[in-house]
Amino acid sequence: MSATRIATVELGRTGEQVSSVALGAMQMGNATDEASSVRILDRYRELGGSFVDTADCYEWWSRRGSRGGESEELLGRWMRDRGNRDEIFLATKGSALPAYSPDLWQADGAPDWELARRTFAGAGGDTLRHALDGSLQRLGTDHVDLYYVHVDDRTTPLEETLEALAGLVAAGKVRYLGWSNVRTWRLERIRQLCDRYDWPAPVAVQQQHTYLRRRAGLEHASIVDDEQWDYLTEHRDLGLVAYSPILKGVYDDAARRAEHWMMASYTGPDSEARLAALAEVSAEVGATPNQTVLAWHLHQTAPTVVPLIGPRTPEQFENLVPALGVKLDAGQLARLDAAGA
């Protein structure tokens, strides 16, 4: 293993250099308390990281009555206290905050995700303009560097969404645009409309992507599939920001893997074969499987992948740091990529 510093990569074909590992702040201010959040953020900066990701809806589901925004507020306080806003490549998202209803929380306090998905705010022009203004106020800044449509909205005409986003860029409130949880055919349609009307096109797509491949037959708009990977390989002006790159850390723990809900999208013979290859390579490089998977992401060049990590504790963050120094040779990468049923 070599020195553990976070490198930079180009975001799409923008010329913008961003951290090769992005830090997700979803749980900051809720599951991760303020002191622990600040420790993680400071340590990330110490290692050279600057790409921080949040959303206006984080984390409404954590407590009854919440309207989200806790993560953005915490980041705003941290940037103000550190005086480092100009050093941060700041990403946030809009469109996925559900309409308020007491029914969003069940009797035991658990969120009702079915109701939430039916009542997402969506990507209407006025909705996004108001959402961004709220995000900017909570973040304590006059602009964000990257603004995503969080959940693709098929009920709003794309022209309305894209024209509104173009206005936000023109107003200086947003530097770059992105899309998340989106099908490949929709990405292509978005890009064609941007080309036709000379609107700024997305430069990043944030999708769920990890070493395991989704199980055969699974329909899932948020997980990168073969078609989307091929599309991103051919269209290098779109960078892939990969969320859940280590699937909540399940690679290190077979018992946790067996019971974790995220594995429902991956379990099967293909995953078993890839886990076996991962175990072999991890042993060879002296790293944990979680660390090796993160290193595998960092070795991707066609397309370039920026893994988005979301440690809940400072200890979880430190457990991932050695991945920055893991070197996988061509043979090991080929074995990892070729593994499968």
pLDDT digits (tens, 9 = 90+) for 48-61: 999 999 999 999 99
Give the pLDDT of residue 37.
98
pLDDT digits (tens, 9 = 90+) for 68-125: 999 999 999 999 999 999 999 999 999 999 999 999 999 999 999 999 999 999 999 9
Residue 1, pLDDT above cutoff 80: no
pLDDT digits (tens, 9 = 90+) for 153-192: 999 999 999 999 999 999 999 999 999 999 999 999 999 9
Give the pLDDT of residue 116.
97
Residue 144, pLDDT above cutoff 60: yes
Residue 294, pLDDT above cutoff 60: yes
Give the pLDDT of residue 4.
83
Asked whether the bond before 303 is cis by omega within 30 degrees of 0, the reply is: yes
Residue 272, pLDDT above cutoff 90: yes
Give the pLDDT of residue 341.
87
Superfamily of domain 8-338: NADP-dependent oxidoreductase domain (3.20.20.100)
Residue 228, pLDDT above cutoff 50: yes
Q: Greatest CA separation found in the chain?
A: 55
Share of the chain above pLDDT 70, in %: 99
Residue 23, pLDDT above cutoff 70: yes
Q: Are 165 and 199 in contact (CB under 8 A)?
A: yes
Share of the chain above pLDDT 90, in %: 99
Residue 2, pLDDT above cutoff 70: no
Torsion sign over Cα 72, 150, 146, 124: negative
| Residue 339 tokens, joined | 């593994």
Residue 337, pLDDT above cutoff 90: yes
Coil, helix or strand at residue 322: helix
* Average pLDDT of the chain to the nearest whole number: 97
Residue 3, pLDDT above cutoff 70: no
* Terminal-to-terminal C-alpha distance of the chain: 30
Report the candidate in 176, 239, 249, 161 with the shortest Cα–Cα distance to residue 206: 239
Phi, psi (5° rounding) for residue 101?
A: -160, 140
* pTM of the model as a whole: 0.97
